[in-house]
């Protein structure tokens, strides 16, 4: 008896279609439910979600964060609708082709990272510059922690949960706080470990600026820019400041490097890296919006006025089908960056609230009447910060180089549209839209770029002049050599002094060590801002429990009061700030125990 195979094939096909449409229906129903949840008022949404919990209470949902959950529900619903459409239209093969292209593009990108043989000498010089940049930064790596640095650790980075959920102040540079959490768990909570993420990012600025300068200009410009970034006092200081600004500067350079690549070749993996690094920069400090916008304006202008590499064949690796094809990927990357950033901030939006992210007082727009005056004042402060410790003749040379790089851009650069133009357009637009109170630290991301442009006008032009008596070497060789010689001399002078520098201690650390020796079971410590964060940090470092600072739960017989003379404090004023009842203390027993520079330690007995 022969079986009718065609009958079974038809039956199998019918079963497959039935299962397929059942899956589509499940996606649609679940998506519709999630979309419906986005429109429910809190009074209905809360009991509904509570009923789904085992203990009958969905604690995370609050009136002030309900909008966050509704956004997540809406996003999930749209995602399920998208899956339903892809399933119904049998378009799952699109994902296969996409990931195959992504894998191939990743291979092309990593293969392109292999240095060329003629570049080994330049890379050796970059390695030397990196070593010198490490030594320059080691001078300050173990210096006393400032208020914001100490607050970063004691308020956020001491706990992974606090780092990703607590945003009561924008002092939490979230991705940086996460890195500090891990570095202090590995190496301990020493000042150098707290600063290690910022330090590492500051050192990595050296090869990053070389890479970008080489792509936009030439290798001599890259060497000059790297030497300037390694040495400039402002960048050295911020590389040893436990804040997220050097990370933002590094992500800026990395995204611009990748942007210079996708201008000329289509590579989905690199576009993905641009989105990832941009989102991580925004997750560190929202000021990353400045370089992110500059990059996307520059990419747009390059696409419009210079065009893109195109072969006219859609499947050709490394080519765009048209300018529109470029813009589709450009827009998708920008949208993907926004979505990824929101996902990164979701724990903060849930546990701290959207208003702390989008409407805190530190990011509130300035009144129009105060904008021009405030910005001019802030720009003047920024200029002073950038040029502090830089000899005047070097400042003049750097400014002249910046101007020359713009005047001779077409002769110096491989790109038609100057990056400076995109920076000016976006910064002006964002200032008018956001009206920020832009402190000098906001513009740190721009400083390596400014040095790069100055190097282009100096070393790039000198690189065009050949010295025939030196085997036709460019004149830039001599200039780079002189700069490196000066930095080597400074390194040789500084390196032997590092052990003595690291042995020094600040006033807060000395005061904490002094009190630790005096501390008894029923003693309490009182300290006011701006010394409170640093004193609490050093107390944790040297084993003094936090409960010593908790006046409400501690039965005490004696109080150690830290008084900052530079802030005009007195024992009575510090006690008042601490909300401790003066009637519980015998103020007549107040006695000065020790003075550490501007910080005094007093003893006050309980009545």
Domain locations in the chain as residue ranges: 5-91, 110-498, 507-606
Q: Is 144 exposed, middle or buried (0-12, 13-18, 19+ CB in 10 A)?
A: middle
pLDDT value, residue 7: 46
Query: In 413-475, which ranges are continuous DSSP H helix?
Result: 419-434, 446-455, 461-462
Write down the pLDDT at residue 204. 98
Angle between helices 174-187 and 268-284 (to 10 degrees): 80
- Stretches where the chain sits below pLDDT 50 are 1, 3, 7-8, 310-316
Residue 525 CA to its chain's centroid (Å):
35
Smallest Cα–Cα separation from 428: which of 363, 372, 358? 372
Check residue 315 and give its pLDDT. 45
Q: β-strand 558-564 against 523-527: which pairing, if any?
A: parallel
Element (H, E) at 601: strand 599-606
Cross-strand pairs, 601: 562, 594
Supply the Cα-derived Rg of the chain in whole angstroms: 30
CB of 498 closer than 8 Å to CB of 523: no
pLDDT in the model for residue 282: 97
Angle at 12 between CA 6 and CA 14, to 5 degrees: 105
Query: What pLDDT does 164 receive?
Result: 95
Q: What is the pLDDT of residue 478?
A: 86
**pTM score:** 0.90
Q: What does the alpha-carbon distance between residue 237 and residue 18 come to, in Å, rounded to a whole number?
A: 66
Compute the residue count for the chain: 607
SS3 assignment, position 367: coil
Pinpoint the alpha helices (H) of 39-143. 42-52, 66-88, 93-112, 120-141
* Cβ count near 67 (within 10 Å): 14
The CA distance from 534 to 540, in Å, is 10
Question: Are 486 and 263 in contact, with CB atoms under 8 Å apart?
Answer: no
261: its two tokens: 């690549």
Cβ–Cβ under 8 Å, residues 32 and 76: no
Using DSSP's 3-state secondary structure scheme, residue 558 falls into strand
- Residue 266, classed as helix, strand or coil, is coil
Cα distance between residue 214 and residue 262, in whole Å = 15
pLDDT score of 552: 62
Question: Is the CB of residue 32 less than 8 Å from the CB of residue 77?
Answer: yes
Task: Tell me the β-bridge partners of 474.
Answer: 466
Q: φ, ψ for residue 92 (rounded to 5)?
A: -65, -20
User: Mapping DSSP to helix (H, G, I), strand (E, B) and coil, where does residue 194 land?
Assistant: helix
pLDDT, position 313: 45
Q: What angle do CA 534, 537, 539 make, to 5 degrees?
A: 110
Torsion 434-436-442-448 (CA) sign: positive
Q: Kindly report the backbone phi and psi dihedral angles of residue 320, in degrees, each rounded to the nearest multiple of 5, phi listed first.
A: -95, 145
pLDDT at 308 (0 to 100): 57
Give dist(CA 334, CA 278) in Å, integer.
Answer: 9
């Amino acid at each position: 008896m022969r079986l009718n195979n065609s009958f079974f094939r038809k039956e199998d096909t019918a079963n497959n279609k039935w299962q397929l449409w059942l899956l589509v229906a499940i996606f649609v129903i679940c998506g519709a439910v999630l979309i419906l949840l986005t429109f429910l008022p809190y009074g209905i949404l809360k009991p509904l979600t509570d009923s789904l919990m085992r203990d009958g209470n969905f604690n995370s949902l609050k009136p002030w964060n309900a909008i966050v959950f509704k956004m997540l529900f809406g996003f999930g619903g749209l995602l399920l609708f998208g899956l339903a459409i892809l399933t119904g239209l049998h378009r799952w093969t699109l994902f296969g082709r996409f990931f195959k292209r992504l894998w191939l593009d990743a291979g092309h990108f990593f293969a392109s990272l292999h240095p060329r043989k003629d570049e080994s000498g330049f890379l050796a010089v970059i390695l030397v510059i990196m070593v010198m940049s490490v030594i320059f930064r080691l001078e300050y790596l173990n210096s006393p922690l400032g208020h914001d640095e100490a607050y970063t650790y004691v308020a956020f980075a001491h706990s992974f949960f606090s780092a990703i959920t607590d945003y009561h102040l924008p002092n939490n540079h979230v991705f940086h706080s996460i890195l500090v959490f891990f570095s202090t768990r590995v190496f301990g909570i020493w000042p150098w470990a707290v600063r290690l993420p910022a330090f590492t990012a500051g050192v990595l600025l050296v090869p990053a600026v070389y890479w970008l300068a080489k792509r936009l200009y030439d290798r001599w410009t890259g060497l000059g820019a790297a030497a300037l970034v390694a040495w400039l006092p402002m960048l050295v200081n911020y590389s040893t400041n436990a804040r997220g600004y050097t990370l933002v500067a590094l992500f800026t350079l990395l995204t611009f490097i990748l942007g210079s690549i996708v201008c000329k070749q289509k590579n989905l993996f690199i576009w993905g890296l641009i989105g990832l690094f941009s989102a991580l920069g925004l997750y560190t400090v929202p000021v990353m919006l400045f370089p992110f916008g500059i990059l996307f304006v520059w990419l747009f202008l390059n696409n419009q006025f210079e065009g893109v590499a195109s072969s006219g064949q859609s499947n050709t690796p490394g080519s765009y089908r048209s300018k529109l094809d470029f813009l589709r990927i450009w827009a998708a990357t920008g949208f993907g960056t926004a979505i990824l950033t929101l996902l990164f901030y979701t724990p903060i939006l849930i546990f701290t609230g959207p208003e702390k992210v989008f409407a805190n007082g530190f990011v509130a727009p300035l009144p129009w009447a105060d904008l021009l005056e405030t910005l001019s004042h802030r720009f003047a402060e920024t200029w002073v910060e950038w040029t502090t410790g830089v000899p005047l003749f070097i400042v003049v040379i750097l400014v002249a180089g910046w101007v020359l790089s713009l005047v001779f851009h077409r002769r110096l650069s491989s790109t038609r549209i100057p990056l400076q133009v995109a920076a000016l357009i976006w910064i002006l637009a964002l200032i008018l839209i956001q009206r920020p109170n832009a402190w000098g630290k906001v513009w740190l991301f721009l400083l390596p770029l400014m040095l790069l442009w100055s190097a282009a006008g100096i070393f790039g032009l000198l690189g065009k002049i050949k010295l025939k008596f030196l085997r036709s070497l460019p004149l830039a060789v001599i200039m780079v050599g002189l700069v490196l010689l000066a930095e080597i001399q400074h390194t040789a002078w500084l390196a032997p002094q590092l052990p003595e520098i690291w042995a020094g201690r600040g006033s807060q650390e000395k005061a904490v060590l002094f009190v630790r020796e005096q501390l008894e079971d029923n003693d309490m410590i009182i300290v006011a801002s701006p010394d409170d964060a640093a004193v609490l940090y050093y107390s944790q470092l040297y084993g003094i429990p936090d409960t010593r600072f908790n006046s409400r739960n501690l039965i005490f017989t004696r109080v150690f009061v830290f008084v900052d003379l530079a802030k005009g404090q007195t024992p009575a004023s510090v006690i008042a700030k601490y909300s401790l009842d003066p009637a519980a203390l015998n103020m007549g027993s107040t006695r000065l125990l020790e003075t550490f520079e501007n910080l005094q330690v007093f003893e006050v007995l309980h009545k």
